Amino acid sequence: MPQRTAEHRTGEAGGRGVVAVLAGAAISVAVMQTLVVPVIADLPVLLDTSAATAGWVVTSTLLAAAVATPVMGRLGDLHGKRRMLVVSLAVMVTGSLISAGTDDPVVMIVGRTLQGFGMGVIPLGIGIMRDVLPGRRLASGLAVMSSSIGVGGGLALPAAALVAQHTDWHALFLGSALLGTVSAAAVLAVVPGGPGLARGGFDLPGAVGLTAGMVALLLPVTKGDAWGWTAPVTLALFGAAALLLTVWGWWELRCPSPLVDLRTSARREVLLTNLASLLLGMAFYTISLVLPALLQLPTGTGYGLGQSMVTAGLALAPLGLTMLLVSPLYARLSERYGPRAALLTGMAVLVAGHGAGIVMMAAVWQTVVIAVVLGVGIGLAYSALPALINAAVDPSRTGAANGLNALMRSVGTAVSSAVVGMVLARTARTWDGVAVPGPEGFRISFALATGAVAVGMVLAFLLPARRGARAVTAPGTGPEPGGPAAGSARGAAPAPHSG
């Protein structure tokens, strides 16, 4: 008797429940990225440590997120995506509880590292949606899941600012632990489980090599301005990263069950989508760094907007909300013209939004307008990425492929953090005896983000046009692992297991 598909198991009502639960899980882990942003300046005092050590409270989370996404994606392909998604949430909750109970900087960094590891939820959730959702709900489900990343980051800013301003800052971590626990329980109750689709074993040498290479790469990227870009330690780490990632690539091409299928990743559709994702990650994080700083600068500087930490967060909240609200628009646009068209439209809106940011810095309402416009652009662009990836890879590699895509966004985030931080530091001026970012620093940052998205648009134009949003294949109807993906599979059944 033929095995029943996941589409039969979920149905319309079940599909809506799965989307809601997975989006909630994505929001709960995306919160980790901006959770401590409102207290960054106070961390050295709160932890009784140096500014350099306190900076690791943020850096450790970014590094862990970058490593977790491809690793957990591959483990989900092998051992079941739901199972590994719950594991990711459990690790995040553990890290939250560790951070909630300490003022020791080293222990705090350990907790924040575990929190960052929860970002493996993103590729796993995308993979589950491909496996279990009816074809008619897949495009909108992927859009909501992708938008949830921005929703979590955007809504965390005002919420975290409010908590940090009126309660003990450790409550931030207790709140994140509660979010993760509720999400894990909801996943177990609503999301169907099943075995992994992939064959073979877990590539432990590949995981170790990728971890070492990414740490060696991202450390000097995030710390280069503080250490000095020509300092021996910076150059040594960049050299080590080049060597480690070269050896890792050599191994992945020869491993029978690689962590990342580089041959598939080199396919035009996947490569260009991943490069565009890197540039989108850079642009997305720029607004999270620039607008809060501008909003909170004193009006006495002549260009600061003099808002409180909470108000600054609220001014950015429309960014996340708009990303969520444009999900239905993405589904219709992608259904009619394909995900490539949605990606290009989103990038065009981002170019306009970041370009407007160069000149619209004189009032709070202008920052809100910028946040809304960028939310529309990011929502459309981010929603298109998993559809483009899923269209080009075998279902048994969905988790790992989306994990690599999320990794590229994480690298873009880290590069953006380093570049914007360097620009704001190099253009700082003295006000009331304190160094503050100058207005030209904000303009340069927006200009760089505009340029990054413009380059991404060129890459997106080179993607092959696909009609329909559901260019995914089902086992038995598509290619062998590593082979070329089938063309549009409008109406194709999803894979039979969700993991």
Q: Which of 237, 256, 275 is the last residue of a domain?
A: 256
pLDDT at position 473 is 38
Contact 44, 234 (CB under 8 A): no
Domain of 226, in residue numbers: 203-256
Together in a domain, 142 and 229: no
Reply yes or no on whether the pLDDT at 353 is more than 90. Answer: yes
Q: Which of 220, 237, 256 is the last residue of a domain?
A: 256
In a domain, 475, yes or no: no
Where residue 12 falls among pLDDT bands split at 50, 70, 90?
Answer: low
In a domain, 491, yes or no: no
Q: Centre a 10 Å sphere on the Cβ of residue 316 and count the other Cβ atoms it contains.
A: 27
What's the pLDDT tens digit per position in 25-50? Answer: 988 888 887 788 777 778 888 888 88
Name residue, tokens 């503080």: 226
What's the pLDDT tens digit per position in 200-238? Answer: 778 889 889 988 998 898 888 878 877 888 899 999 999
In a domain, 484, yes or no: no
In a domain, 270, yes or no: yes
**Cα torsion angle, 340, 345, 347, 348, sign:** positive
pLDDT at position 226 is 79
pLDDT at position 189 is 92
Name residue, tokens 């040594």: 236
Contact 98, 70 (CB under 8 A): no
The Cα–Cα gap between 306 and 300 comes to 8
Reply yes or no on whether the pLDDT at 497 is more than 80. Answer: no
- φ/ψ of residue 429, rounded to 5: -130, 165
Q: Which of 256, 274, 293 is the last residue of a domain?
A: 256
Together in a domain, 323 and 233: no
The amino acid that residue 179 corresponds to is L
Together in a domain, 188 and 228: no
In a domain, 237, yes or no: yes
Residue 430: strand, helix, or coil:
strand
Q: Find, among 307, 439, 317, the residue nearest to 364 by Cα.
A: 307
- pTM equals 0.77
Together in a domain, 237 and 337: no
pLDDT at position 318 is 83
The Cα–Cα gap between 239 and 77 comes to 32
CB neighbour burial string for 444-467, b if at least 16 within 10 angstroms, e if fewer: bbbebbbbbbbebbebbeebeebe
Reply yes or no on whether the pLDDT at 477 is more than 50. Answer: no
Together in a domain, 55 and 113: yes
Together in a domain, 164 and 219: no
Together in a domain, 198 and 233: no
When pLDDT is averaged across residues 433-441 and rounded to a whole number, the result is: 86
Taken as a whole, the chain contains a residue count of 499
In a domain, 492, yes or no: no
Q: Find, among 210, 201, 256, the residue nearest to 404 by Cα.
A: 210
Contact 186, 355 (CB under 8 A): no
What's the pLDDT tens digit per position in 159-201? Answer: 777 887 778 888 889 999 999 999 999 999 998 876 666 677 7
CATH of residue 345? 1.20.1250.20
Reply yes or no on whether the pLDDT at 352 is more than 90. Answer: yes
Together in a domain, 143 and 227: no
Reply yes or no on whether the pLDDT at 487 is more than 70. Answer: no
Percent of the chain with pLDDT over 70: 88
What's the pLDDT tens digit per position in 110-128? Answer: 999 999 888 889 888 888 8
Together in a domain, 381 and 424: yes
In a domain, 480, yes or no: no
153 vs 268, more confident:
268
Tally of domains within the chain? 2
Together in a domain, 234 and 282: no
Q: Which of 191-200, 377-386, 394-403 has the lowest mean pLDDT?
A: 191-200
What's the pLDDT tens digit per position in 241-257? Answer: 999 999 999 998 888 88
Together in a domain, 271 and 233: no
Reply yes or no on whether the pLDDT at 490 is more than 70. Answer: no
Name residue, tokens 């091409």: 253
Long-range contacts of 168-174 (CB under 8 A, 24+ apart): 169/39, 169/42, 169/46, 170/99, 170/100, 170/101, 171/100, 172/35, 172/36, 172/39, 173/35, 173/96, 173/97, 173/99, 173/100, 173/111, 174/96, 174/97, 174/100
In a domain, 33, yes or no: yes
Together in a domain, 209 and 306: no
pLDDT at position 97 is 96
Q: Which of 60-74, 343-357, 372-386 has the lowest mean pLDDT?
A: 60-74
When pLDDT is averaged across residues 306-335 and rounded to a whole number, the result is: 80
